[in-house]
Amino acid sequence: MSLVSKLEKILKHSVVKNMSSLALIQVGNYIIPLLIIPYISRIVGLENFGKLEYARTLVAYFTVFIDYGFNITATRAISLNRDNREKINSIVSRTFTAKLILLFISTFVFWLMLRMENGFEDISFLLWATFIFNFGQFLFPIWYYQGIEKIASISFINFFIKLGILLGVILLLKTKDQYWIYNLLISLAHVLFGLISVYILFKKYRVHLVKFKLKELLDVFKSGFSIFFSTILVAIFVTYSFILLKEYGTEAEVGEYSTANKLVMTIRVLIMLPFSQAFFPYIAKIASEDIQKFKQQLRRVTIFLFSITLGVTLFTLAFSNWIVSIIFGEEFLSSVDVLQILVFLPIFSTLTNIFAYQGLLSLKQDKTFLVIHIVFTILIIITSYLLVPHYGVVGVAYIRVVSEALLMFSALFFLIRYLSKTNES
């Protein structure tokens, strides 16, 4: 088969189609906000930009709590029962109910936290403006669209809604003190997208909410707990040292890390997330049917994504000063040193996703996944308290990169060990 024929075959594949659609969603979520940054950063300044990113990082813990790992567990359930209308209705009903309960709990805890913690007084309005995002997260049933591999149905809607943020920010954000408007507009856009995607779910795909027993709802929480707890640990693993930086570092250091991390996360998400969300239903199904094909597919995507992330990393490293200057402005050049450390993160985190999420979770090694993240989260918390007070933002950057590299090698080790046992049996 010629190279052209192979490429045509790949492009026709539903996984590639879904990856393209998910990429468009991530363009809306990350690239469009990145396009606004040259305008925002020059108005709000380094320190206020740090506050915007800090608020999103803190609120993300509650987002993870509301999601409860449904992007994996519900996606897996929908994928395996996509031809069973009765089962689909039941899964959707239980998932929405569970998320509504978690949303109520999150909102109450968030309100309580802001009342009890004096350190949040100066940014409480910003935090609430950012927290509204979670109402959209509750509504958005990405787990359904991933499960039936029809993510294209909503990707363009998300893109145009997020495009509207560009106009909204330009029209409304005029002074340094109005920096909170940026996070508020992102939150409101996500709520609107959630409402539209739910409407399509019920109208186009004719999904209905049905009654279910309390035991079935409890089973949703029970069956998804390992994934949920692992996801919470991942959130702590990724952001804990940065949260600690607000206590031990300066506002300028928070801004420097936020700037570098914004660029790195955009690279990471655009490469990894569309692949991860589209590939998981496909690879999970193969893992249950043909272990040899599973290994073959995993090997191919590892080589392919490693090549892409390596190329992007080397380019960013070589032109880091120019990139920061163009996107953020001269005031943000102090973040270049941090960027040159964090720039290796997309390589390690992408490989971690392949070995841990696509590998271990597809093979239903949820407990192994959980144990790995418990160990590394404990290490992150300990090393953060040891290094951040003394080394500040540089310490945070090294903790993030080194810990991700070690996590990647650990996931690879357990994946190889499990596959070796499978071959022996």
* pLDDT tens, position by position, 231-285: 888 888 888 888 888 888 888 899 999 989 988 988 887 776 656 555 656 666 7
The answer to whether the beta carbons of residues 193 and 206 sit under 8 Å apart is: no
Pick the range with the lowest mean pLDDT from 80-89, 117-126, 158-167, 338-347: 158-167
Instruction: Indicate the pLDDT class of residue 381, thresholds 50, 70 and 90.
Output: very high
Instruction: Indicate the pLDDT class of residue 423, thresholds 50, 70 and 90.
Output: low
Within 13 Å, how many C-alpha atoms sit on residue 327's CB side?
Answer: 21
Closest among 72, 201, 202, 193 to 135, alpha carbons compared: 193
| Buried residues in 130-148 as b, exposed as e (16+ CB within 10 A) | bbbbbbbbbbbbbbbbbbb
- Residue 71 burial (CB count, 10 A): 18
Closest among 222, 198, 205, 190 to 148, alpha carbons compared: 205
Structure tokens at 119: 């350190």
Across 93-100, average pLDDT: 95
Share the mean pLDDT of the chain: 84
Q: Which residue type occupies 364?
A: K
pLDDT value at 6 more than 70: no
Query: Model's pTM, two decimal places?
Result: 0.77
pLDDT value at 307 more than 60: yes
Across 296-307, average pLDDT: 85
Question: What is the spatial distance between Cα 279 and Cα 304, in angstroms, rounded to a whole number?
Answer: 14
Question: What is the spatial distance between Cα 42 and Cα 329, in angstroms, rounded to a whole number?
Answer: 7
Question: What is the spatial distance between Cα 256 and Cα 333, in angstroms, rounded to a whole number?
Answer: 9
Structure tokens at 362: 């597809």
**In the chain, pLDDT over 70 holds for what percent of residues?**
87
Question: What is the spatial distance between Cα 72 and Cα 223, in angstroms, rounded to a whole number?
Answer: 11
Closest among 273, 264, 258 to 27, alpha carbons compared: 273
- DSSP state letter for 362: T
